[in-house]
Amino acid sequence: MRAVITVVGKDTVGILAKVSAKCAESNVNINEVTQSVLEDMFCMIMLADISAMNKPFGDFSDEMQKLGDDMGMSVHVMHETIFNSMHRI
């Protein structure tokens, strides 16, 4: 089971660190990271393994969203199934 974490907003110091720290704290293993900075806009997509996550998915999603709000960025966590079902037959 994997989750897609997206982070979008104004680039600043420590975004990746804070997001990955929260993942580690929740026992979520990051598999892949795609990241780009266009001018000062930061955009990151993470694929993370949530099979051994130590909390319910909804709580993890809420915590990530709160982390995003604190940093002034938009952070979203979505289950991989939604992408698979939308884009794969």
Partner 1 sequence: MINTHEILETITMIQDENLDIRTVTMGISLLDCMDSDIDEACNKVYEKIVTNARNLVPVCEEIERELGIPIINKRISVTPIAIVASACKEQSPVKFALTLEKAAREVGVNFIGGYSALVQKGFAGADMALIKSIPEALAVTDHVCASVNIGSTKAGINMDAVKIMGRVVKECAELTRDRQCIGAAKLVVFCNAPEDNPFMAGAFHGVGEPDVVINVGVSGPGVVRAALAKSEGLDLTGVAELIKRTAFKITRMGQLVAQEASKRLGYPFGIVDLSLAPTPAVGDSVAYILEEIGLECCGSCGTTAALAMLNDAVKKGGVMASSRVGGLSGAFIPVTEDAGMIHAATIGALSIEKLEAMTAVCSVGLDMINIPGDTSAEVISALIADEAAIGMVNSKTTAVRVIPAIGKKVGEELNFGGLLGNGPVMKISTYSPAKFINRGGQIPAPMQSLKN
Residues contributing to the site for partner 1 (CB under 8 A): 4, 6, 34, 45, 57-58, 61-62, 76-88
| Minimum distance, C-beta of residue 22 to partner 1, in the bound complex (Å) | 16
| Minimum distance, C-beta of residue 64 to partner 1, in the bound complex (Å) | 11
* C-beta closer to partner 1: residue 7 or 71: 7
In this structure, how many other beta carbons lie within 10 angstroms of the beta carbon of residue 84? 10
| Minimum distance, C-beta of residue 8 to partner 1, in the bound complex (Å) | 9
Give the pairing type, strands 2-10 and 29-38. Answer: unpaired
SS3 content of the chain, % helix, strand, coil (to 5): 40, 40, 25
